[in-house]
Each structure stands twice: as C-alpha cells, then as structure tokens.
Structure 1
Amino acid sequence: MTESRDSLSVQELTEEEQDRHRVYMARQPIFDGDLEVYGYELLFRGSGQADQAEISGSAGAGEAATSTVMLNSIMEFDLENLVGDRIAFFNLTREFLLAGTDLPFSSTNVGIEVLENSKVDDDLLNALEHLALLGYEIALDDFTWGPGADRLLSVASMVKLDIQDLDREELPRIVAELQNKQVKLVAEKVETHEEMEMCRRLGFDYFQGFFLCKPTTLSARRLPESKLNTLRLIAKLQEPDVTPAQLEEIIQHDVTLNYRLLRTVNSAYYGLAVKIRSISHAVVYLGIPTIRSWARLLVLSGLEDRPSELVRLALTRARMCQLLTENLSDEASEAAFTVGLFSLLDAMLDIPMDRILPQLPLDEPLIEALETRDGPYGRLLTAVTRYEQGEWDEIDHDLYPVERLTSAYMEALAWAREQYRALMSG
C-alpha cells in the first residue's frame, strides 16, 4: 500500500448529478428488544441549511429544507433503497401537517414523527387523526409532559424519549406513566450497551442510538476461542501475498465457510453460466480478489450472536469508502474498502480494536486509520461515519463535497442490501 497523499480526494460528479445530490440524507435504525431493525428514522438537510431536517410546509422554509425538495429527494433515491421493507419515520412540522399535503408513500411503511415544539390545538389533532386513520404510525419525538400532551397521546401510537436529556432518577416514573397510555416507547440517544439494558429493564419497546457500533464490553477478559478462531481466519484471508493454493486450503479448512462460499457463488445473485464445483474452480473462474472478498464477508456475516444490522452497516461503510476513492489506484480503493469493513470489527467480535489489530496483517496506514482515525484513510473513515450519523457540519467539505457523499451513501446502501441478500442466500 503506497498511497502517500495526506487526504484521499473524491471522484468528481457531473453538474446534473451535483444538482440531484445537494442534500444530506441518512438513516438511523430503531431496534426492537431482539436488536432487529423495526424501522429507520430518516435524516435530511439541504446543503445550504443550518439545521437538521424536518419536512416543512412553511413558505419560507428558512429553518429547514422544504417539503418539495425533501419529498422529491426521497422519491428519487427510492424509499425501498433507504429502508427496505422496514418503516421509514419522517420528522414533519406542524406547517406541513396542516397543509394537508398527501404523502406519496404507502401508510404501511411510513411513520410520522411530530416535533416536540409543535403547537397543539384542534387543527393539529385533526390532521394527526386523519393520518392515523389512513394507517400512518404517529410518533411523538423528544416527548415531554406539557400543554396538550394528553391530547397528543390520544392519537399517537409511539413516544420517543431522549434518555440523555431526562433525569435518570425520573425516568422510571415517566416510563410507567406513558405505559399506562398504551403507547410503544422508544429510547433515543442510547450510546452504550449498558444504557440499552437499563432501558430494556425499564420497559422500553425500542432503542435508537449508536450503541450497536461499540463492543459489549471492553474488559481484559480472556477472549472466547470461537472469536479467536474467527479473528485468525480473517487474518489468514487478509494475507496480501496469499497464493491460490493457500487460499483454497484456508477456505476448505473451515467446513461452514467452504459450504457457504460455494452456495453463494452458485446463487442467482451471481448468475454464472457454469456451476462452480470446488473452491479451486472458484478461484480460477472468479479470481483471488473476488473469492477473498466473499470469504471475508461470509466470515463476518456468520457471527450468529451479532445483530444483522451490524453486518449491513459494515458493508455500507466499506462500499462508501471504496466509492469515495474509486478515482485513485485499485490498491487505494481496496484499502479504503478494508478500512470501512473492519471499522466495526470490535463491535462484531466484542474485542477492543487495540487487541484485534496486532493479529491482522495490515499496512500501517490502515492500522492508523482503524486505531486512531489518523492519516488519509482515517480521515476518510471519519467523514463516512460522520455522514452516516448525521454529523454533517463536522465533515471537511473541501475534501468531501456533499453531493459526492450523498451519491456514495445512497449507492452504498443499495449495494450493501444486495450483498447481504446474497450472503444470506449462502
């Protein structure tokens, strides 16, 4: 790996592509108690706007992106690409709700979040009752008890509580009062697994936050043999000078990996003209890079005790990093993919990153990126994770223009969804 630039520049877009993508767009998963994705809150912002994004119906729309821009963006990028078969939650302003604008999406996969600063009166309640009758799920965002709260609860099916903004000693009482209102409770801004377990014990139904991206524990306990074996297998697959014979031996040594890889390459996703009957045949027919990549993904997707969303997120990061460097060398682009994919290894294996990296044959720039987020690949990974988490003001837009980031993110989501389907078919 010889990339020596201080930062990795992104591929240019045409003017038409830039116009289409001058909007920030990301999603945050909402998990159920089994850590399966219930839905996604969609985050938006126009590139010239100061605040994160609700869909607004106000004529001036100075405080947020306008409804037209946002709805057109969602339709262009395709709601299925954004959320698959899960529920998409939108933040809608009072102005938009009162305007009576029809949402161009089926109520079966859309939830409406009512902002906490919305004035509660008969007009708003009538609008929400109409949407609820149409089948839209009504969620109260950053809910606090105040004027009109009881009336809102009469039409809502879900309440979201920012656990970082509420007194922890008061939280049990608040939860108990809301449970009496027969609404589902979402804990927002859950940052650690300990907070998630606390919220689960209190009776929350759903959980939203970045806790999934962190290891369950950072203790110095002895690593389970199963996790060590997974790490050793990843390390062997990562060897830069692996020969076809060595790659075949590595894969065949793991019976499950051998079986799943053959099933995957013979799946409808690939649509090969010939049936691949052995790993050696696969290496010859598809090449070392492809087989190494698929084997690596299959190993990570086979971690049965980890949430599936973690694998999808790692795939999305990897592809987005790769897309943002595709104008550079193949070597740099592959390195960027590896950094994105491995950025969640600590969460996947429940092993601190500083205990993982010494086991992997990675070049120093990649180790630097994964351990401290320094160097060109570290800055790339930082930009990608900040975009993904909606921290858009923290991105260096001279290096990473908004239109390029959005384009790469949307393409990465679609790619990750298809890759995950193919992996699961194996």
Structure 2
Amino acid sequence: MNHPDPVFIQPLLGADDAWSGYKVELADGANDEILSRLCAASQLDEFDQRLPWFLPASSTCNVSVRLGERSVSIFAAQSAPKSEEALKQLEARLRQNKCKVGLAASANAKLPATGAWDYLLIGASHARCLPPFTLHGMASRTTVVATDVHSHSDREWLLGNACALSTSEFLLTRTASNSKADITRLKLLKLLTLIDGDADTGALETVFREEAKLSYSLLRLVNSAALAPRSPITSFAQAINLLGRRQLQRWLQLLVYSDPNNGQHPTPLLQKAASRGRILELLARKLEPALDNPEDTAFMIGTFSLLDVLLNMSVSDILHQLPLPVVIQKALAEHEGPLGQLLSVIDAADRHDLKLAATLLEKIGIDADSYLDAQLDAYSWAAKIRPAD
C-alpha cells in the first residue's frame, strides 16, 4: 500500500497582519488521499469559520462537502494534458454549484478577465512586472492573493496594490531591529534562564520591575483566547500561581515575539513561532531516540527557532547569551538530533521545498496523518493567540 505524501498548510496574512486564510500545498506526486483526510478532519471546526481555505482542485475529493463556503478550489493556469479535461469538467461543475474557484496565475499565461474567478493567486515577482493599476482593476471583482512574498518591501507594495491576502515568507528575513525593543527582549531571555534555573519568585519580579512593560505585555498575552482563563489574570504573581512555572515559561518564550510597543496590532511572527513550537511538541514522542521532557524541549526549540530573525542576530550569538541544554543548542544551531531534523522539515516547507520536507518526514518516521493532525492542532491554537483588548 502506498502511503500518501504529507499535506502542508500555510497561514495567509490579511492587510492587518492577522491570519486571514489558509493555503494547502501538496508535494509533487502526492495523491488526493491526504487531501480527503484534511477535508474530513474534525479539527477544522476549531478554526475561524469565516476564513477561506485554498486547496488544490481535485476531481476525486469534494472539498466543499466538509468546508462548505470556506473552501476555494485552486486551478493552475497551465495543467498537465492528461488531467486537463477532468479539471475542466470539475471547474464547470463547481461553478454550476456556485462553489468558490480560484486561479493560480502563471507568468507564461495571460491574466484572466476581472471577475472570471473568485480569487486570483499571483506571485509577488509576477505581480510587480504587470502594468500599473492592473491589480487594482482585477481586485474590483476578484480577490487577489499574493504568493512567494519574500521581502518586506514586496509585502508593502502588494498591500498598496490591492492584494487582500498574502503568504508570509518575508517574515523569515532579517530586518534592522529597534534597539530598545531588543533590550526588552534580551531581558526576557534573561528571565527565561532564571526560570529554567528554578530562581525564586522575587528574582523573577526584579526583572519585571526593570522593564515594567513586560508585565503588561505578559498579562495581555496570557489573557488571550488561546489560554482563555476563567477570570482575568491581573498580576505576575497570579500568573505564576495559576499557570505554574512550566506554563509560564512557555508564555514567556512567546512573549519575546510580542509587540514591543504594547499595541493592538497582530504579531504574525509570534503566531508563527507558536505554531512551530506546538508542532514539534505534538510530534516529539514519535521521534527516536526518546528525550527527557520531550514536549518542553520541543516547544522551546520551535519557539526559539525564529529568534535570529526577531533579534537580527546570529544563532550562535543568541545561544552565547542564552545558556540552553546541549540538545536544544544543537537543534537550533545545526538542526542535529531528531527534533533538529523535524525543525528542518518546517524550514523546508516554509521555503516551499515540499519534496525535501516530505523526504525528511519519512526519514524520521513521521507519517502524513500525524503531521497533518499536528499542523491542524498547532494552527488552530496559534490563531487564538491574540492579545486581549
């Protein structure tokens, strides 16, 4: 029996940087079995029911049955001859049933007329080569989704040119950091080492007093929908008492990524780090050889895997300032060990090297169903990490 290749889910950003949709990608040669598994997953009920899911058009998997109006079937501008007729029939059937359809544009094919498709997916470099105002005209009757957005300047240009949604590759590129924000975050790293070293509460509170806005940021974060406390947490001491040190450490790891100005703006890098940590945590016990406290170790590796981007520092410089167990250091710096290899899977998927990601998953013994479940759990949880107003 052939095992299905994994499916890879990519959150899409809206103009306000909030997760505003999800794009599903399949490795080359993958069959539709795993796509059917996705559409049947009960975890889909945990996601915001208003957000669209973009899935490859499939003649054997009826995505609209499970996802309903959330589903958008994406057709390629140029398809393989052997599947062209089947896809044309599928497109006609979807349109007849008033299902949402989208086109993945190709630089080698003419753009469709505005309104011909519900959604147009277009690469950033392709979009920037178009005549002025082309996307504005397209967006009058078609929702434009930008893909392969590898720089912050591309992201800004696309937002200014009528793109409603975009992929988030640009989040993985370093930019100059505000020095004060970095100081705050370095204090957070100091706080994490104190917790890891079992320091007393007084020592922890001293760090918060040195950087007062940390308390405010922490309280907004732990009161988010992802934790959903029965009653609001109003002080650092209460946070320790209610969460315990283990959970507090996890929220502090995420706090490193929060908005340093305490604004209401979504922080997509935080959610990306959170989802990485959660995916590694959920799959940690499936890896060999087994580790002590694998979930905590895995969560830290996942959340800290983007610190170099956040702090605009090399991984080696960060690890020099943040003493961590050897297994975590090797996973972060060299992608060594089973958790480091799993981190390589996520990195490859973020680079859209899906064939490599699928190969690495098979190598470390993670099947497609397990990886899909971990993604769905992680993304539904991370999507709720929005600081309370």
TM-score (norm. length: structure 2): 0.76
One-letter amino acid of the counterpart of residue 29, structure 2: D
CA distance in 1, matches of 2:383, 2:283: 19
Contact 2:17 2:266 in 1 (8 A): yes
Once the two structures are superposed, residues 128-180 of structure 1 have per-residue CA deviations (whole angstroms, 9 ceiling, x without a partner) of 5435xx3x443211345758x64x6542133222345x496xx132x644544
The reply on whether 1:255 has 2:207 as its aligned counterpart is no
CA distance in 1, matches of 2:248, 2:17: 30
Q: 1:244 aligns with which of 189, 200, 219?
A: 200
One-letter amino acid of the counterpart of residue 287, structure 1: G
Once the two structures are superposed, residues 369-420 of structure 1 have per-residue CA deviations (whole angstroms, 9 ceiling, x without a partner) of 32343455432311233356664432431323224333333333344345x2
Q: 2:372 aligns with which of 387, 391, 406?
A: 406
List gaps (5 residues or longer) in structure 1: 1-18, 53-63
CA distance in 2, matches of 1:281, 1:40: 36
Cα drift, residue 258 of structure 1:
3.0
C-alpha spacing 1:283/1:96, structure 2 compared with 1 (3 Å): closer
- In structure 1, the residue matched to 2:249 is 292
- In structure 2, the residue matched to 1:51 is 29
C-alpha spacing 1:75/1:223, structure 2 compared with 1 (3 Å): same
SS of equivalent to 1:301: coil
- Counterparts in 2 of 1:369-388, with a 5 A limit? 369-387=331-349
Contact 1:26 1:388 in 2 (8 A): no
The reply on whether 1:42 has 2:42 as its aligned counterpart is no
SS of equivalent to 1:161: strand
Identity of aligned residues (%): 22
Contact 1:237 1:247 in 2 (8 A): no
Contact 1:41 1:88 in 2 (8 A): yes
Contact 1:91 1:114 in 2 (8 A): yes
- In structure 1, the residue matched to 2:101 is 138
- In structure 2, the residue matched to 1:325 is 284
Cα drift, residue 236 of structure 1:
2.4
Contact 1:139 1:158 in 2 (8 A): yes
CA distance in 2, matches of 1:22, 1:82: 24
Q: 1:230 aligns with which of 155, 169, 185?
A: 185
C-alpha spacing 1:107/1:31, structure 2 compared with 1 (3 Å): same
**Bigger-Rg structure (1/2):** 1
Cα drift, residue 299 of structure 1:
4.2
Contact 1:116 1:142 in 2 (8 A): yes
CA distance in 2, matches of 1:167, 1:255: 44
Cα drift, residue 254 of structure 1:
4.0
**How many pairs does the alignment contain?**
369
Cα drift, residue 343 of structure 1:
0.9
- Counterparts in 2 of 1:273-284, with a 5 A limit? 279-280=236-237, 282-283=239-240
Cα drift, residue 96 of structure 1:
5.9
Contact 2:76 2:105 in 1 (8 A): yes
Q: 1:65 aligns with which of 32, 54, 75?
A: 32
Coordinate RMSD, CA, aligned: 4.0
Q: 1:156 aligns with which of 82, 107, 117?
A: 117
- Counterparts in 2 of 1:2-401, with a 5 A limit? 24-44=6-26, 50-52=28-30, 64-65=31-32, 70-81=35-46, 85-93=50-58, 95=59, 103-105=64-66, 108-118=69-79, 126-127=92-93, 129-131=95-97, 134=98, 136-144=99-107, 146=109, 150=112, 153-163=114-124, 166=126, 171-173=129-131, 176-177=133-134, 179-181=136-138, 182=140, 183-200=142-159, 204-217=163-176, 224-239=179-194, 240-245=196-201, 246-259=203-216, 261=218, 269=227, 279-280=236-237, 282-283=239-240, 286-303=243-260, 307-326=266-285, 328-387=290-349, 391-394=353-356, 395-396=359-360, 397-401=362-366
- Mean alpha-carbon deviation: is it higher for 397-406 or for 367-376? 367-376
- Mean alpha-carbon deviation: is it higher for 281-290 or for 115-124? 115-124
One-letter amino acid of the counterpart of residue 215, structure 2: N
- In structure 2, the residue matched to 1:16 is none
Cα drift, residue 88 of structure 1:
0.8
SS of equivalent to 2:23: strand
TM-score (norm. length: structure 1): 0.70
Cα drift, residue 28 of structure 1:
1.6
Contact 2:95 2:101 in 1 (8 A): no
Once the two structures are superposed, residues 96-119 of structure 1 have per-residue CA deviations (whole angstroms, 9 ceiling, x without a partner) of 69xxx6821465423231222355
Contact 2:250 2:300 in 1 (8 A): no
Once the two structures are superposed, residues 9-57 of structure 1 have per-residue CA deviations (whole angstroms, 9 ceiling, x without a partner) of xxxxxxxxxx9x9562322233334433332112246xxxx525xxxxx
SS of equivalent to 2:120: strand
List gaps (5 residues or longer) in structure 2: none
C-alpha spacing 1:331/1:172, structure 2 compared with 1 (3 Å): same
